[in-house]
Amino acid sequence: MLNYTAIDFETANSYRGSPCSVGLVRVRDGVPVEEHHWLMRPPEPVDHFLGFNTALHGITPEMVATEPRWKEVLPAIVDFIGDDVVVAHNAGFDIGVIRYACAVDNIEWPELRFLCTMVLARRALSLPTYRLPYVVEALGGTAVNHHDALSDAQGVVHVIRGLAADAGVESLDELAGSVGVSVGRMACGKYTGSVAISGSGADRLVQPDLNPSADPDGYLYGRVVVFTGALMSMTRQIAWEECARVGAVAGQSTTKQTNVLVVGDINPAVLRPGSNVTGKARRAFELQEKGQDIEVMTEDDFLRCLDGKAIDGPEALLSHDDINDRGATRTPPSRLRKVPLAERPKPKPPKPPRPLRRGPVPTTQTCAADECSNIAAFKTRTKPTWCEQHIVEQQRRGGLTPLEPFTHPDDWQLTECLACAVQAHYRFEYTLDKNKYGEPTCRACYWRRWAAESRKMQGPWARVEPVPYEEAKALAEEHGYEYLGPLTAPSLPDDPHHARCGRCGRISAERLGDISFGCSTCKPRD
């Protein structure tokens, strides 16, 4: 029988474990019988919305401000799924949302079986693209509202129905088997993906010769390294070759000679003695308890060692750097996993950021304000346009006064808040959008109020330890900003800070968590 639960997540930012929405559809005998949609706040360490993500799914911080956190919604999601196989389009992403969000909150993964309709479609169909809307329509389904979590989950149901009909099967196991795809599993820190089954079997690992020129002062030199879990940045064979390059010996299993255990795609929250983890990790903990010196490190730590960077003693298995780097700078395209690190193409230097402002474009259009015949400050085809006088009025309505001339609605204009006098760059389009909802443009005012209300709601559990000036300054500079100072006294967690981007020069009022994601205005361009 085609009994399963379809699922789709939307995320708040580029970190996979930042869910803000989930759609679920329960299917019995191929027919949807129940569905549910939740909005939620992402885990606290990654509670940040990027404009790119919001543009995709339309979910804003304000829309989830009163919704429960991820860890409060997760039990309801698991309860809805029950014993069903979970089906998702690009399950690596959606199941990854669960894994990474649980890792951030330091809670164990739920036990799930899952199937990926993207993998199924690639094996069963010949299409120019395998994006969900295209696959749905190729199988005769109705168009989905892509990036709406519930609509996408409904689209998954259409894909399963179409693929099952084409294959003439009546169960998920039969459907998966008909095209040679495995059902994935996630449980107790172990993860096996829903992937195409290779008919040739696994490649045999070859022990490479040690590099006689390896640096004897290298962190891994002379040590025996064992890997557990799938590595995201390279294949196991490439990992063995990288060990040999730096003078380390790669081992198949954890033994009394093992010095380092590198943890791949396994939930760090369960990596502790006594946990139900992989055999290699369990053996490592047993040997640790007997006094053997075995260091357990993340894949990111391993890459640091290969780069010749020191590890400052034992670290949290999922640090702040992991949250920012994993999947962004550390994970290469899948096609490069089989390429030795030294042979991979060097990343192109980022192009210079776009200028914050451009020259004004003359127009003959008139101002859209009632009874105003002045020439507009910018031209547009479909949206209202205003003269400079009425642009200033709109900005004052948003609580700002301009400090430099207007050029274009999408340009960044230096302004000063009429309420708190903080200077920052804002786009006129942004002010218009905030004016629609009666919200002040100034982010310094907004985040002060938001942080105070958040601490009030949390009561005695609120974090009220002041953030040291040097700590905030160091974080800002680490992520390419000139630190201009805190915007509250004392500066508490989630309070805003004043900073200027070192690349594009944009001045902003942001929380430290937002600053750690880097300047959104001058992200490197391809």
Q: Decide if pLDDT at 323 tops 70.
A: no
**3-class DSSP state for residue 112?**
strand
Residues 6+ apart with CB under 8 A from 436: none
Amino acid at 263: V
Position 130 confidence tier, pLDDT thresholds 50, 70, 90: confident
Contact 59, 87 (CB under 8 A): no
Q: Are 42 and 171 in contact (CB under 8 A)?
A: no
Q: What would the pLDDT profile of 261-301 be if each residue is shown by its tens digit?
A: 998 766 555 555 555 566 777 788 888 888 888 888 888 78
Q: Is 413 exposed, middle or buried (0-12, 13-18, 19+ CB in 10 A)?
A: buried
Q: What percent of the chain has pLDDT over 90?
A: 48
State the pLDDT at residue 319. 38
What pLDDT is stored for residue 381 in this prediction? 84
Distance CA 26, CA 458 (A): 35
First to last CA, the chain: 47
The answer to whether residue 483 scores a pLDDT higher than 90 is yes
pLDDT of 393 higher than 50: yes
pLDDT of residue 276: 56
pLDDT classification of 201: cutoffs 50, 70, 90: very low
Residue 77 has pLDDT above 90, yes or no: yes
pLDDT bucket at 200, cuts 50 / 70 / 90? very low
Q: How far is CA 354 from CA 2, 346, 361, in A?
A: 51, 23, 17
- How large is the average pLDDT for residues 436-444? 91
* Short-list 321, 322, 428, 421, CA closest to 376: 428
196 has pLDDT over 80: no
Q: What digits encode the pLDDT tens for the residues 366-376? A: 999 999 999 99
Indicate whether 506 pLDDT > 60.
Answer: yes
Cβ-contact 411, 427 below 8 angstroms = yes
Which positions ≥6 away from 29 have C-beta within 8 Å? 1, 2, 3
Check pLDDT > 70 for residue 463. yes
What mean pLDDT is predicted for residues 482-508?
A: 94
What's the whole-number average pLDDT of the chain? 86
Q: Domains along the chain?
A: 4-192 (3.30.420.10), 224-343 (3.40.50.10190), 444-515 (no CATH)
* pLDDT score at 525: 44
